[in-house]
Amino acid sequence: MDFSLNDHQRLIRDTVRQFMETEVRPFVKEWEKQEKFPAEAVRKLGEMGCCGVTTPEEWGGPGLDTISYALIMEEVARVFTALSTAIGVTCSAVQAPLLLFGNEAQKKKYIRRMATGETLGAFCLTEPAAGSDAAGIQARAVREGNSYRLNGTKTWVSNGSVAGVLRKPILRRAARASARFSLSRAFRASRWAATRTRWASGRRRQSKFC
């Protein structure tokens, strides 16, 4: 079996490598010191197709293969690990489930803007009592008529302070089954501390919603 990269995959790898070395590496230490989100770098990576790597062209992505996605993530992480987390969450934790299970209205509302880097997705998994054990989360969703009441506390919220779409693993109380909820940043809650969460990785913060 031949495991060598094809010409297109090598071109993708080399293009992202050059971008990261010239436009990101010189600024990483200062960004981390200032806890600054590299919005301009994300915008340019989005223009290169890196924010929706495997997303089909009809939804704004380049529709690349999984190997190309892995190569892009490796090159970004090699220079700035937190940035690879921001992009990886957007591509995998948010866009992939929406592509597989979202309805047409949800896809139209969310996917294209994420795939092009216009906005990012956030993933709210980790909790104080459960860590990142999805089976042990305590956040709950209770159906009330045509809507759900979400109640819980999250410790880590990847992209929490900069994302436009939030993905929350919740336990549906009635069915005792794991579910995910997609929320826009316009989501109204009695308490929502998204601005206090780290955009990718760093010190422990808590975000509550109820």
DSSP annotation string for 20-84: HHHHTGGGHHHHHHHT---HHHHHHHHHTTTTSTTS-GGGTS----HHHHHHHHHHHHHH-HHHH
Structure tokens at 170: 């919740």
* pLDDT bracket for residue 52 (50, 70, 90): very high
Residue 2 lies in a domain: no
Find the CATH number of the domain harbouring 149.
2.40.110.10
User: What is the Cα gyration radius of the chain?
Assistant: 18
DSSP state string for 168-199:
EEEEETTTTEEEEEEEETT---SS--GGGS-S
Task: Provide the domain limits for residue 134.
Answer: 122-209
* pTM for the predicted model, two decimal places: 0.78
Average pLDDT, the chain: 82
163 phi, psi to nearest 5 deg: -80, 160
Instruction: Kindly state the average pLDDT of the residues 26-54.
Output: 95
Does residue 128 or residue 73 have the better pLDDT?
73
Report pLDDT for 179.
Answer: 54
Residue 154 and residue 200 share a domain: yes
The answer on pLDDT for 178 being more than 60 is no
Residue 114 and residue 34 share a domain: yes
Query: What tens digit of pLDDT does each residue of 131-166 get?
Result: 888 888 888 888 888 887 878 888 878 887 788 866
- In this structure, the number of other CB atoms found within 10 A of the CB of residue 2 comes to 5
SS3 of residue 206 by DSSP: coil
Instruction: Kindly state the average pLDDT of the residues 172-185.
Output: 52
